Amino acid sequence: MAYLVFFLGVCFVLGGLAVASNPSPYYGVVGLVLASVVGCGAGLVLFCSNFCMLRMFCFCLAQGFVDFLWLL
């Protein structure tokens, strides 16, 4: 369990770095989606509500979609 939480934390940090230091805006959107998936997975591992994590995931995906459309 500790290894899983550590792995999700590392992936979350890498997703945040991809958003912050993106060489292309498209990679920033991919980093945002990666960070949202890993953040929701970490919330589920740490015994948070499934519905709460689903709402957060949908909100983050919608934000990534808006950012992606803004680039076009």
Residue 72: the pLDDT is 65
Q: Among 11-20, 34-43, 48-57, whose mean pLDDT is lowest?
A: 48-57
Q: Is 30 helix (H, G, I), strand (E, B) or coil?
A: helix
pLDDT, average across residues 33-45:
79
Helix, strand, coil share (%) of the chain residues, nearest 5: 85, 0, 15
pLDDT, average across residues 8-31:
78
**Nearest to residue 56, comparing CAs of 46, 69, 41?**
41
